[in-house]
Amino acid sequence: MKSYSKTRGIVSLVVFAILFVLVLYTAANGWTYEHSGSLSDVKLGLDLRGGVSITYQAKGEETPDAQDMADTKMKLQKRVEGYSTEAVVYQEGSNRLTIDIPGETNADQVLQELGTPGTLIFCTDYSDIAGTTRLDGNDINSAQAGADQDGKYIVVVGFTEDGQKKFSEVTGEIAGTKKPLYIVYDGEVISAPTCEQQITSPSCQIEGSFTYESATTLASYIRIGAIPIELEELRSQVVGATLGSKAISTSLMAGLVGLILVAILLIVLYRVPGVCASLALFFYTGLIIVLLAAFNQEITLTLPGIAGIILSIGMAVDANVIIFSRVQEEIGLGRSVSGAISAGFQKALSAIIDGNVTTLIAAVVLYFFGSGTVKGFAITLALGIVLSMFTALVVTRMLMRAVYAVGVQDKKFYGEKKPAKEKDFLSRRKIFLIASAAVIVIGILAMVINGAKTYALNYSLDFVGGTSTDVAFNENRTVEQLESEVKPVISDAIGSTDVTLTPVVGSNNVIIKTQELTQDQRSAMYEVLEGQFGVDSSKITYENISGTVSKEMARSAIISVILAAIAMLLYIWIRFRDIRFASSSVLALVHDVLVVLACYAVFRWTVGNTFIACMLTLVGYSINATIVIFDRIRENLGILGGGDLKKVVNLSVTQTLGRSINTSLTTLFMVITLYIFGVTSIKEFALPLMVGIIVGGYSSVCLSGALWYIFRTKFGVKKAEA
């Protein structure tokens, strides 16, 4: 290790202390009076703030013109800004637009007022629309309900410059003739006013026997029709702010508790290096918050995003564990502490880079093929991976050098690991393979049995479509009461018996899953819930997903896992220059995915939006653990040669066993705290991930080396090597 003078060590520690305090202070309070860069400046998604989200798709099979999509986006943006200055419209793909209106307290009313965009035209002869169209939606600037001087309700319509000219021309023709000007929306006449005189101004008012509701509805149709593309609603979601605030507080608590537990474990296992890693870990966490706040225009934090951050904190420890295990091994071999630190970082470097790059591949695939909330998870996970490498290879290394330079040099402060007695893992490989195959077969049978009844897996609306409504009753109701008292009432209200009611454990909330409901059906259901059961309808939240979106979700899940596996296989093949390393690692991770999938089938865990994130996180995590073992096999092949492959594999697995256990424990701590403190959607993510971490650790230790040994002895080598 390049020597540090005592003075340089002190300076390094002082500089780090200043940066440490600055980063944590900024994360908590910001760096200006506007709190820029603090946790409060992190841009929160709808699932954390509450509000409404609607996804529209252009009608027709042809891809719409890019300029028309841009114009539609712009007009919708101006329209929704009336509900909230933070409302945003963004394009998804070539033919979809999503509207997010955070913080809206009456989100369902927004949906009703906004309506479904369609075609708007003004014509003088309704019997022959195509030949008499005088204006269309592109000629309209605005439309608002109001009242005249006598207090009568009216609709005020504003025109573009071209629209003003067209309107002046047509009103000049029909003025005083009692001939109506038909306003037609999606082929139906929504108003037919007459004109007493020519109107040359840039706006006009429509008078009639309006109520406030009818004037507002007409204005809404004119506004929403004033876009160049016909749109249809694909997905809508109303989220209550109460859930969001609870999700934030519980996730923060989970993160804090998990951090403390991880720090304690690191210090117990690795002593002074553990202290350095813990300080770097808190620094890393503060840095993530500062970056999320600094780039709040580009990054929106969602519920899966919080899970990604907390998970990345657990995974950030892995690099430190690899390094510290190497340092303790080098000390056990008789090296000085200084030499052990230098050798530990050097020998751990390749495993850290390869492991993190493969996990990063999973995050990239997730970003490009996942939906909006899953993209948020992918961004935060990728950010965490990059920062974890920085803190482990730069910050922790600097701290260890500085601490050693100021006088903490006795090896008892760093720990010592004597060469472990080689364990014969390969002799049990048939047992491991049979046990794994049995679990996978059980999962397949469970899916076949489930599929004969309903679905192979317990799909949420994200995969099958429909409406999920979260209702808070005034008192707790048993499943029997829900089935006998509530279900029949809801079925009558919506006109369907396809109703499933699931009570939320630990609360009076009930999740009502139905077919995809229209606004009228939702309103009818809200009325009976409020009238017969005293439910506060303003606190009801729901999610509406069409079958089109559901099929795409299922397809993207499969494509994401396959592409991630292929990309990882290619990367490992290139890095290790041996297809047998790559194929073994991919087979091990396929095993992990199938085992976790078996748990989904047997225990009927919900397969929802976070399922994709969970599976790809598992893929990245599992292959990361496998690469550490393969890296040691590659190293031992260079030392021992290929004469005794059994010894190489057994020794490599034995040498990395402590690291595999410790990394699994630290990551589990973070995920367990997520499960204990998290809201329902977080629990749905954390539970299978806990199983995945355990399964990933098992496959890395018990299967990956065995699979490589089988490939190595069966394909392309001399018999002497076996």
Query: Among 193-202, 246-255, 577-586, 591-600, where is mean pLDDT lowest?
Result: 246-255
The fraction of the chain above a pLDDT of 90, given in percent, is: 31
Give tens-digit pLDDT for 273-288: 999 999 999 999 889 8
- Determine which of 79-88, 467-476, 488-497, 503-512 has the lowest per-residue pLDDT on average: 79-88
Q: What angle do CA 649, 654, 660 make, to 5 degrees?
A: 110
Of 81-90, 343-352, 389-398, 660-669, least confident by mean pLDDT is 81-90
Query: Mean pLDDT for the chain?
Result: 84
CA atoms within 13 A on the CB side of 303: 25
Tell me the pTM: 0.73
679-707 CB burial, b ≥16 within 10 A, e <16: bbbbebbbbbbebbbebbbbbbbbbbbbb
Contact 242, 539 (CB under 8 A): yes
When comparing pLDDT for 716 and 493, which is higher? 493
Distance CA 389, CA 391 (A): 6
pLDDT class for 480, splitting at 50, 70, 90? confident
pLDDT tens by residue, 101-125: 877 766 666 666 666 667 788 998 8
Separation of alpha carbons 682 and 613, rounded Å: 12
Amino acid 721: pLDDT: 40
- How high is the pLDDT of residue 240? 66
Cα separation, 289 vs 387, in Å, equals: 12
As a whole number, mean pLDDT of residues 535-548 equals 77
pLDDT number for residue 130: 54
Within 10 Å of residue 194's Cβ, how many Cβ atoms? 12
Tell me how far apart the alpha carbons of residues 402 and 13 are, in angstroms, rounded to a whole number.
6
**pLDDT at residue 133 tops 90:** no
pLDDT band at 64; cut points 50, 70, 90: confident
CB atoms within 10 A of CB 247: 21
Residue 484 one-letter amino acid:
S
- List C-alpha distances in Å: 652 to 284, 587, 656, 701: 31, 19, 6, 10
Q: Burial of 92 by CB count in 10 Å (0-12 exposed, 13-18 middle, 19+ buried)?
A: middle
Comparing 149-158, 375-384, 414-423, 647-656, the range with the smallest average pLDDT is 375-384
Q: Which of 161, 165, 72 is nearest to 120 (CA)?
A: 72
- The DSSP secondary-structure symbol of 149 reads T
- pLDDT tens digits, 148-197: 988 899 999 999 999 999 999 999 999 989 899 999 887 788 899 999 99
Residue 441 pLDDT exceeds 90? yes
CB atoms within 10 A of CB 421: 6
Structural domains of the chain, with CATH: 6-17+241-413 (1.20.1640.10), 51-115+233-239 (3.30.70.3400), 120-226 (3.30.1360.200), 426-444+549-721 (1.20.1640.10), 466-545 (3.30.70.100)
Q: How confident is the model at residue 557 (pLDDT cuts 50, 70, 90)?
A: low
pLDDT digits (tens, 9 = 90+) for 313-351: 766 788 888 899 899 989 998 999 999 999 999 988 888
Instruction: Tell me the pLDDT band of 562, cut-offs 50, 70 and 90.
Output: confident
- Across residues 193-216, what is the average pLDDT? 91
Structure token pair of residue 399: 């701290």
Please tell me the predicted confidence (pLDDT) of residue 516.
81
**Which sign, positive or negative, has the C-alpha torsion 229, 233, 235, 241?**
positive
Q: How confident is the model at residue 2 (pLDDT cuts 50, 70, 90)?
A: low
pLDDT digits (tens, 9 = 90+) for 25-52: 888 877 665 555 667 777 777 767 777 8
Determine the Cα–Cα distance for residues 678 and 502; give it in Å rounded to an integer.
19
Q: What integer pLDDT is reported at residue 313 of this predicted model?
A: 75
Say what the pLDDT of residue 307 is: 67
Using N-to-C axis directions, what is the helix angle for 547-576 and 579-603, rounded to 10°? 150
Across residues 73-95, what is the average pLDDT?
Answer: 76
3-state secondary structure 573-605: HHHHCCHHHHHHHHHHHHHHHHHHHHHHHHHCC
Contacts of 47 (CB under 8 A, 6+ apart): 239, 243, 244, 247, 302, 303, 373, 681
Average pLDDT over residues 643-664: 90
